[in-house]
A and B are shown apart, each in its own frame.
Chain A
Amino acid sequence: MSVATNPRRYVISFIFIGVAVIMLLRLFFLQNFEPKYKILANDIAIYKKVVYPPRGVIRDRKGRTLLSNTPIYDLMITPRNVPKNFDTAEFCAALDIDKATYERILGKVLIRNIDVRQSPFIELLNEEQTARYQENAYKFPGFELVERNIRVYEKPIAGLMLGYIGEVSPEMLKKPRYQSYRQGDYTGLSGLELQYEEALRGQRGVHFLERDKFNRPRDPYKGGALDTLEVSGKQLDLYLDMELQEYAEKLMANKIGSVVAIDPRTGGILTMVSSPTFDPNLLRGKERARNYANLHKEATRPLFNRATQAMYPPGSTIKPFTGLVALNVGAITPDYGYGCRGSYGACSRSIACEHKDAGHAANFGLALAHSCNAYFCHLFRLTVDYRNFGSVKKGLQAWHDYYKSFAYGRQTGIDIPFEGKGLVPDSNLYNKMYRGSWNSCTIVFVGMGQGELLLTPLQMANGMCIIANKGYYYTPHFVKAIGKNENDTALRKYHEKHVVLNIPDETFEVVQQAMQDVVDHGTAAAAKIDGVTVCAKTGTAENKAIVNGEVIKMQNHSMFVAFAPRENPKIAIAVAIENAGFGATWAAPIASLIMEKYLKDSVTYKRKAVEDKMMNAKLINKYVYTIDSVIRLRDLRTYNARVARKRAADSTKKANDSILYHRWINYKMRTNNLKATNKRK
């Protein structure tokens, strides 16, 4: 027990220091060389809150809302926070689901995500579920209602044009356009919603929040320095007139067909109807897939946008253009007459004309007013055989170039996706069809809008803009302004004036006068509007269907094109009604009513009867359903045959593989045996 220094003092100091050094080493490696703890710390404590901005609102030409948003709730679950003694029965009752469903969803959630993460339990609760859940929400820890917006179509109109949104699919995510999207994000899937996705979507915001161990978000992480702010989707202002659209859809009820009305001054689409229509509110939320399937099954194919995708023979409505080209190439003068006696017989077969009286085609104006088939067939032949071109092939090429400049036979470039091209035949097509031996007589039907020529209603309406504007058009489009900016770069291409092959104004005057005559004294008397000079052309397009290998001639399509007023064109319109008969009977009055509604804001009282007749007419033929089922059956058979072929090919391949395998085995066995015998020797 001496006061002198005891060596054991140093042993104890050494133990103290030794333990401290071990701790320091451990801390050094733990804190500097084990990055997983940093990742884990961020994982558990930082909550990345994705904020979806409201999608852009779509409004009509008068600022009325067509498409907007409304809040709806997703029920989110954080499995770890759900207590062991959770009252499943009450929970299920509040949501109106059964216990099995609960277990199934919970299982799915746990497989997809770890149990401390919040993930969706039920998406897009309906109103009833939301209300009942909210009453009892306090009883269900671990669950949370998260608000999100859903699209609302103010009126059940223009569904195909406005389009709809849905979750982005895994295939889409692979495309560069969707690289900023994540699974579960919503995107436009058709119509304007798809076309203007980037503008409407806005920019997703990401907020980093710290959360505590109960998963409750608390302070912004690092004071919000890493956050990105959300940017609201831009508003779209359309040229579309909500009232007019509704009116047109009413007129087109129970008919198969379409209406396209364009303002020739801007190319803005005033109305676009593809009938039969459907309520676009069906295509949102949870019910979308089911409703979509139901709509898809319907024989009348309401999901098919007939206005931009359906291709019809234009029938007589093409005659102003046949005339326009003939006049412009110099094949005829406006005074040119043809002695039609009820048929055109120059081409070794007789083409019937509605009129037999002498002089109904005494000049261009009269011929158009009476829609003389013989006259225009002849005009077409005169054009393509015109001596200046040298040959029918060159003549047809010149004619083809004219039509291409009218945006026929190609996409107009309208701002909704999946537009049809139509078909304008050229020499190549006929060379293929007739193995090179054809002449103007072979293709004469094209002059009266039959034969190989096919147009979409949009192209027909755009053609009317060209005549109304005397030689130019703007690409038809819906959107006037993006985010109230009319000069947005996305809209620049719609401000570009497209001038068709140089045709002088006088030629257009002649055609316009002739089209005015059509209304004043000709076939389109039904299209007259008091106090407005209407220029129009009726059409009755023959068409055929192939059913079970037989070509069946079907009832004619009722076609009509027009623009008004002639002096200062404000609206150009095309109406096509499938298998309805004469153009003058159905398409003309409907077009006229729409024009009157647009030009005068209302339809005069005396046309009420016509209006009622049009609205109530049911023009869908029974055979539409028959043909549809035949077509679907054929498609199914083709599909089954393809699948069967593929399966057969696969199994053959497999069989071949196994033959190879057996051969290899045999070979191996033989060589081994050989070796064995060699060894034995």
Chain B
Amino acid sequence: MSDLKKTLFNRIDTPLLLMYLALVTVGILAIFSVEHRTTDTSLIMMNKSYMKQIIWLGYSLFIGFIIILTDSKFFSSFAFLLYTVCIIILIITIFAGVDVKGSRSWLGIGGFRFQPGEVAKIFTAMALAKFFSLNETNFKKLRDRLIAAAIALAPAVFILLQKETGLALVYMCFFLVMYREGLPSVILVLGFAAIALVLTSLLINRITLAILLTVFTILIGLLIRHTLKRRIAARVILISAWGFSLLFSQVAVPFVFKHVLQKHQIERIYSMIGIDVPDEYNKAIAPGEEKKEKTNSSEYNVLQSKIAIGSGGMFGKGFLNGTSTKNQFVPEQNTDFIFCAIGEQFGFLGSAGLIILYISMMLRILYLGERQRSDFTRVYAYCVASILFFHFAVNISMTIGLAPVIGITLPFISYGGSSLLAFSILIFILIRLDADRQVLIR
């Protein structure tokens, strides 16, 4: 038995474990820098978030340890059962959830609170992996594709009903996994293109965008000029794509903004990406309709966040010297905007280092996924990487004004027990499964 154990621990992927430990350490330091006051008498103060986070890390490591000791077949065997339980809990949460800032995504049990939506990711990933690893699954069939999409999106629907949009959006990341498993590229490309088009029509000046689109189309045309020569369909598709994009950005968006949306809706959309409403969409305030202060809150967040990160410069202000960080100028600094603390205190070098660390971790997970014998582990690994990627990309983009402010956390770094625990479990299950990569798990 002891012999088996030794070999088990030897088979653990050390780089991934080290990257995980590095990220949680950075996270605790970042939370510390936000919470620490020069007036504090001691470093160990139980009411401070960083101490709570350390305790949560303790729980996470303990659970991780238990996961390592668990039989790897357990996860595939119980995947659907756990998923079902999870969906039931999500449904319960819609009705029994605690009201936190307008959303009902938190479940209180005794004095203990957690967000089922955070944890549901794990079980969705496992269920999806299980589904793909089933012998009878043929992802080339539309029916199976719909089932996979349903498995991925069912929790999202219930989370949407809990009014926690950000968390629900995370489930979109499973399409990346499905793409890996054979979903046609067109869907992915169209999805990305649609998102990019919507964002750019909001962020970039209309005329500039038209020029950019044209230049982009010509570039693609040059790249695939041989195909274009041979096939009429390709020409039609390219030109119609270009035409559609132009029509969308030049006509549809302005039309919707000018004639369909209300003033407060326009303001909401623009404030989400942290920029001012362009003059052309500024409508005269209707009588009796006063500007609400709430509309400015995410705009204010992004501005403060950009100030914090932008003022960090190349080398940063130094640990515990961030004037915006330690003086609480950035709202939600502990959770959604924790990246500001790093950007301000450690500058471009620090934030670039963190981004590289994340990307290395994701690429490592992809590498782990590809070296598996069993489909279950591979699909699971891709799920983990996709979830991490979505969180990472959206969170950092929103702090630097590249994406709308939707409340999702930065994995391993943001303060929050549910989030840390969920991501730790994700990683530790992967580590456990990877340790048995020679075993075929079904």
Q: Do chains A and B stick together as partners?
A: yes
The contact string, 1 if C-beta is below 8 Å from chain A, for chain B 356-368, is: 1011001100100
Known contacts being A20-B355, A41-B324, A45-B323, is A31 close to B329, with CB within 8 Å? no
Closest residue of chain B to A218, judged by CB? B327
* Total number of B residues with any Cβ neighbor in A under 8 Å: 48
> Are A23 and B402 in touch, CB under 8 angstroms?
yes
> Are A12 and B351 in touch, CB under 8 angstroms?
no
* Partner pick for B400 among A9, A11, A30, A210, CB 8 A cutoff: A30
The contact string, 1 if C-beta is below 8 Å from chain A, for chain B 150-189, is: 0000000000000000000000000010011100010000
* Partner pick for A31 among B348, B355, B362, B375, CB 8 A cutoff: B348
> Are A8 and B311 in touch, CB under 8 angstroms?
no
In residues 348-398 of chain B, which contact A (Cβ within 8 Å)?
Answer: 348, 351-352, 355-356, 358-359, 362-363, 366, 370, 372-373, 375, 382, 385, 389, 393, 396-397
* Partner pick for A210 among B308, B323, B373, CB 8 A cutoff: B323
Known contacts being A3-B373, A37-B306, A38-B311, is A28 close to B348, with CB within 8 Å? yes
* Interface membership of B328, Cβ < 8 A: yes
CB-CB under 8 A from B389, the residues of chain A are: 15-16, 19
CA of A258 to CA of B382, assembled, Å:
100
* Interface membership of B314, Cβ < 8 A: yes
* Interface membership of A5, Cβ < 8 A: yes
Known contacts being A8-B179, A12-B180, is A32 close to B314, with CB within 8 Å? yes
* Interface membership of B411, Cβ < 8 A: no
Closest residue of chain B to A4, judged by CB? B370
CA of A11 to CA of B397, assembled, Å:
21
* Interface membership of B42, Cβ < 8 A: no
> Are B396 and A23 in touch, CB under 8 angstroms?
yes
> Are B343 and A27 in touch, CB under 8 angstroms?
yes
* Partner pick for A40 among B179, B307, B355, B358, CB 8 A cutoff: B307
CB-CB under 8 A from B396, the residues of chain A are: 23
* Interface membership of B221, Cβ < 8 A: no
> Are B375 and A1 in touch, CB under 8 angstroms?
yes
CB distance from B310 to the nearest CB of A (A): 3
Interface centre among B38, B308, B310, B396 (most CB of A within 10 A): B310
> Are B351 and A42 in touch, CB under 8 angstroms?
no
* Interface membership of A44, Cβ < 8 A: yes
> Are B307 and A41 in touch, CB under 8 angstroms?
yes
> Are A31 and B347 in touch, CB under 8 angstroms?
yes
Known contacts being A17-B359, A27-B351, is A12 close to B327, with CB within 8 Å? no
* Interface membership of A435, Cβ < 8 A: no
> Are A212 and B327 in touch, CB under 8 angstroms?
yes
> Are B355 and A37 in touch, CB under 8 angstroms?
no
* Interface membership of B309, Cβ < 8 A: yes
> Are B352 and A45 in touch, CB under 8 angstroms?
no
The contact string, 1 if C-beta is below 8 Å from chain B, for chain A 479-499, is: 000000000000000000000
* Interface membership of A90, Cβ < 8 A: no
> Are A221 and B355 in touch, CB under 8 angstroms?
no
> Are A22 and B402 in touch, CB under 8 angstroms?
yes
* Interface membership of A502, Cβ < 8 A: no
Known contacts being A23-B396, A218-B327, is A31 close to B180, with CB within 8 Å? no
> Are B348 and A42 in touch, CB under 8 angstroms?
no
CB-CB under 8 A from B176, the residues of chain A are: 12, 15
CA of A5 to CA of B367, assembled, Å:
10
> Are B363 and A30 in touch, CB under 8 angstroms?
no
* Interface membership of A437, Cβ < 8 A: no
* Interface membership of A174, Cβ < 8 A: no
> Are B324 and A44 in touch, CB under 8 angstroms?
yes
CB-CB under 8 A from B359, the residues of chain A are: 16-17, 20
> Are B362 and A9 in touch, CB under 8 angstroms?
no
* Interface membership of A219, Cβ < 8 A: yes
* Interface membership of A432, Cβ < 8 A: no
CB distance from B327 to the nearest CB of A (A): 4
CB distance from B263 to the nearest CB of A (A): 21
CB-CB under 8 A from A41, the residues of chain B are: 307-308, 310-311, 323-324, 344
Please name 5 further chain A to chain B contacts, defined as beta carbons within 8 Å, in addition to the given A16-B389, A24-B355, sorted by A numbering.
Answer: A12-B180, A12-B382, A31-B312, A32-B314, A221-B323
**20 pairs from A and B in contact (CB 8 Å cutoff):** A1-B375, A3-B372, A9-B370, A12-B176, A12-B366, A16-B389, A19-B389, A19-B393, A20-B355, A22-B402, A23-B397, A24-B352, A24-B355, A27-B309, A37-B307, A45-B324, A45-B329, A213-B327, A219-B38, A222-B321
| Top 4 closest pairs, chain A to chain B, by CB | A37-B310, A41-B311, A45-B323, A212-B327
Residues of B near any A CB (own CB < 8 A): 37-38, 176, 179-181, 185, 306-314, 321, 323-324, 326-329, 343-344, 347-348, 351-352, 355-356, 358-359, 362-363, 366, 370, 372-373, 375, 382, 385, 389, 393, 396-397, 400, 402
